[in-house]
């Protein structure tokens, strides 16, 4: 008798492709405080990577992110912002969620361009953007479309559209800064549809 498919490990339906499932990075800083990645430099005074910027869990970010992204090794060894490898029993990660749930979030979705003034959190992947959205504190979003390995931001707009339809998410401000005209059009259509659902609910 054939072996049953492995459920929940990305190998359902007897697929041979192995997909590792990661939980999103919420920028708690834990991993860069524990030890440095190959791009980092340990700061003996601060007791953390010298390139870790930001002031509290949820708002830390890697000051070398663009350099890491540009390096071919990031394709097989993803770093900060791509996914969390230290999510189990991680109190610092929980603290990041508590901090994020206690203040208004202005979300910049982009895997390359740094956030301009006015945005206080950055999502480089679809799963990160959805993690920020799940706090229900996002007031404003600016969308890039193509996030490389991180997916297409249209998926985020599509989740928002559905949540607006179901009355699960309050109205938020949005804009699109993607240079991809077709991607921008898809995001705009989904978000305009969300606007209509919010309007029907008097929001």
Q: Does residue 191 belong to the site contacting ligand SF4 (CB under 6 A)?
A: no
Specify the 3-state DSSP secondary structure of 123. Answer: strand
Q: Does residue 31 belong to the site contacting ligand SF4 (CB under 6 A)?
A: yes
Please tell me the distance from the alpha carbon of residue 70 to that of residue 112, in angstroms, as a whole number.
Answer: 9
Please tell me the distance from the alpha carbon of residue 139 to that of residue 124, in angstroms, as a whole number.
Answer: 18
User: Toward ligand SF4, which CB reaches closer, 97 or 195?
Assistant: 97
Helix axis angle for 154-165 and 126-134, nearest 10°, is 30
Q: Among 48-56, 120-128, 136-144, 175-183, which window interacts with ligand SF4 (CB under 6 A)?
A: 48-56
How would you classify the pairing of strands 61-62 and 121-123? unpaired
Q: Does residue 26 belong to the site contacting ligand SF4 (CB under 6 A)?
A: yes
**Furthest C-alpha separation in the chain:** 61
Q: Among 6-14, 22-30, 171-179, 180-188, which window interacts with ligand SF4 (CB under 6 A)?
A: 22-30
Residue 150 near residue 124 (C-beta atoms within 8 A): yes
Q: For tokens 């969620």, name the residue.
A: 97
User: Toward ligand SF4, which CB reaches closer, 31 or 157?
Assistant: 31
Q: Does residue 132 belong to the site contacting ligand SF4 (CB under 6 A)?
A: no
User: Toward ligand SF4, which CB reaches closer, 113 or 196?
Assistant: 113
- Pick one of 58, 59, 64, 157: the residue that binds ligand SF4 (CB under 6 A): 64
- Pick one of 58, 78, 93, 132: the residue that binds ligand SF4 (CB under 6 A): 93
Q: Among 37-45, 120-128, 135-143, 191-199, which window interacts with ligand SF4 (CB under 6 A)?
A: 37-45
Distances (CA, A) of 192 to 4, 119, 175: 44, 22, 11
Please tell me the distance from the alpha carbon of residue 196 to that of residue 30, in angstroms, as a whole number.
Answer: 40
Closest contact distance (angstroms) between CB of 153 and ligand SF4 is: 20
Residues that bind ligand SF4 (CB under 6 A): 25-32, 36-37, 39-40, 49, 51-52, 62, 64, 79-80, 84, 86, 93
């Amino acid at each position: 008798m054939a072996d049953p498919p492995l459920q929940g490990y990305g190998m359902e339906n007897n697929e041979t492709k192995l997909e590792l499932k990661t939980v999103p990075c919420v920028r708690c800083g834990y991993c860069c405080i524990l030890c440095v990645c190959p791009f980092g430099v340990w700061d003996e005074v601060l007791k953390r990577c010298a390139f870790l910027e930001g002031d509290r869990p949820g708002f830390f970010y890697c000051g070398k992110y663009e350099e890491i992204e540009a390096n071919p090794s990031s394709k097989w060894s993803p770093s900060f912002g791509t996914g969390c490898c230290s999510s189990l029993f991680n109190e610092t990660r929980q603290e990041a969620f508590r901090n994020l749930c206690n203040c208004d979030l202005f979300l910049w979705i982009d895997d390359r361009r740094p956030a301009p003034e006015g945005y206080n959190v950055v999502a480089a992947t679809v799963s990160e953007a959805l993690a920020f959205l799940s706090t229900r504190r996002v007031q404003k979003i600016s969308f890039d479309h193509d996030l490389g390995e991180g997916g297409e931001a249209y998926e985020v707009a599509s989740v928002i559209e559905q949540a607006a339809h179901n009355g699960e998410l309050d109205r938020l401000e949005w804009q699109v800064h993607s240079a991809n005209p077709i991607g921008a059009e898809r995001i705009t259509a989904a978000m305009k549809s969300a606007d209509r659902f919010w309007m029907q609910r008097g929001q």
